[in-house]
Amino acid sequence: MTAYQTLEQRFARLAALEGAAGILGWDAQTLMPDGAAEARGDQLAILRGLAHEMLTAPGAAEDLLAAEQAGHPDPWPAANLREMRRAQAHATAVPRDLVEASSRAVSRSEMVWREARRDADFARLEPHLAEVLRLQREIGEAKGDALGLDPYDALLDSYDPGMRRATIDPLFADLTSWLPALIARAREIQASRAAPLPLAGPFDVDVQRALGLKLMAAVGFDFTRGRLDISLHPFCGGATDDVRITTRYDVADFGRALMGVLHETGHALYEQGRPAAWRHQPVGAARGMSLHESQSLIVEMQACRSRAFFTFLAPLLREAFGRSGPEWSPENLHALNTRVAPGFIRVDADEATYPAHILLRYRLETAMIAGDLAVRDLPGAFNDGLRELLGLAVPDDRVGCLQDIHWPSGAFGYFPTYTLGALAAAQLFRAARSAEPALPDCLAQGDFGPLRDWLRAKVHAVGSLHGTDELLARATGAPLGTEAFRAHLEARYLAGAS
């Protein structure tokens, strides 16, 4: 075999290890008994250590060098080799003992977070989060030294290849310059109109689940290669060809679970639509978390909060819950699901105020990685920031700095991808509507085929063949920017046109 073929075999085995870790991680958040947490942490640490060893073995470096010297005329193998090099560079920067120590610390921290969040008890999490942060700093510094990046950019690059603070900061500064005024104007317009009629519960959880499954099928989820479950924090995970998504249910409000299911289905479509011939290779992977978030937000926010979609959804809801009346009209449902109202919980935020949640977390996590914010001071800093950005007084840490699992999970550098994904989603959806003018009419009939097919061709099946900006430029005609997102918000919340 050539050096490149040997590398393909190595990375296929690596993908299998990562898939096993993905299923174990899914189980830890859904079905695993609490008493198994320590053992599960060891299992995941060993799997991640083995994966790290495969990437950092001398043979991998030798084969990479030989394959790069030989070159490859075809674009897919050439891009695959580029992505192999990137993965190997990240891995060799961090010693195995640090990888395993971080994995164990994260497993412990995640379990404690569940109890601390339930009881609004940050003090219980603090030492565990401090240890996770300490190890993430070490990882960021090690990767930064090897890659020529500052520690935060090195961590960010793990989630969004090529993304840097130098790109994020101007985009976020632009958002900050006009978003507060847009939110204020949208709320003024809302206040001038009759309030939408509320939907009275309770809403049976079994009915909610059945409805979610029906909508997953309509969007295009392949149930032969995935499933829906329950977790404390909704997510999409699992393994290649076994995509696991989760949601959480509230008998008083079916909308949270339903929109959560649609959001995670967008992620799942990306995973299920990746190029089949390359699905066990780095070039077949999704191109970073900003694009991944764009796919969930295209489904949840762009398509499934549109006026057209509620024409399809309204009769399904009336039938599922056995209800009738003006509150179940498409117009009222659309108004309920597009209200701008600052709130404490990020995952429940409307799309206009959501960026404020991300701006706050970005500010805090960059300060923590830089050593400018101690973990013990996180609750106060979080509460001050939410008051500044959204005018809210946080009553307790459960709805404050304990609401997200990301930092206990060691995911420093992940948060900005949510709003970067919203920007990309707006660009991509506008391009899809231009290419498929009948798209709103299709959504009104529950036909996601044209949107799904366009995304599959332009995003999903491309994998990591191109960088993020090149992929977006090919699909939309421009690199990542804020203009499409602003136009979308103005059309939906100021003009009432979408």
Q: Examine the pLDDT at 381 and tell me if it is beyond 90.
A: yes
Q: What contacts 257, CB < 8 A, 6 or more positions away? A: 208, 212, 247, 248, 249, 250
Longest dimension (CA), the chain: 71
Residue 428 and residue 455 in contact, taking contact as beta carbons nearer than 8 Å:
yes
Confidence category of residue 407, pLDDT binned at 50, 70, 90 = very high
The CB density around residue 431, as the number of other CB atoms within 10 Å, is 18
Q: Which of 261, 179, 180 is nearest to 227 (CA)?
A: 261
Encode pLDDT of 449-458 as tens digits. 999 999 999 9
CA distance 265 to 259: 10
Q: Examine the pLDDT at 497 and tell me if it is beyond 80.
A: no
The predicted structure's pLDDT at residue 6: 97
> 3-state DSSP: the chain helix, strand, coil percent, rounded to 5?
70, 5, 25
The predicted structure's pLDDT at residue 498: 78
CA distance 275 to 313: 31
Q: Examine the pLDDT at 233 and tell me if it is beyond 90.
A: no
Over range 292-301, report the average pLDDT.
Answer: 97
Q: What is the mean pLDDT of the chain?
A: 96
Three-state SS for 230? strand
Encode pLDDT of 62-93 as tens digits. 999 999 999 889 999 999 999 999 999 999 99
Burial 333-351 (b: 16+ CB within 10 A, else e): bbbbbbebebebebbbbbb
Q: Which residues are catalytic?
A: 264
Over range 367-378, report the average pLDDT.
Answer: 98
Over range 466-488, report the average pLDDT.
Answer: 97
The predicted structure's pLDDT at residue 378: 98
> What DSSP string describes 348-366?
G--TTTHHHHHHHHHHHHH
Q: Which domains occur in the chain, in start order?
A: 3-160 (no CATH), 167-494 (1.10.1370.30)
Beta-bridge partners for 228: 245
> What six digits make up the tokens of 327?
């509150």
CA distance 450 to 119: 46
Over range 218-226, report the average pLDDT.
Answer: 97
Encode pLDDT of 320-365 as tens digits. 999 999 999 999 999 999 999 999 999 889 999 999 999 999 999 9
Cα 83–Cα 86–Cα 92 angle in degrees, nearest 5: 140
The predicted structure's pLDDT at residue 459: 98
Enter the pTM of the model: 0.94
Q: Examine the pLDDT at 496 and tell me if it is beyond 80.
A: no
Over range 293-321, report the average pLDDT.
Answer: 98
Query: What percent of the chain shows pLDDT beyond 90?
Result: 96
The predicted structure's pLDDT at residue 232: 82
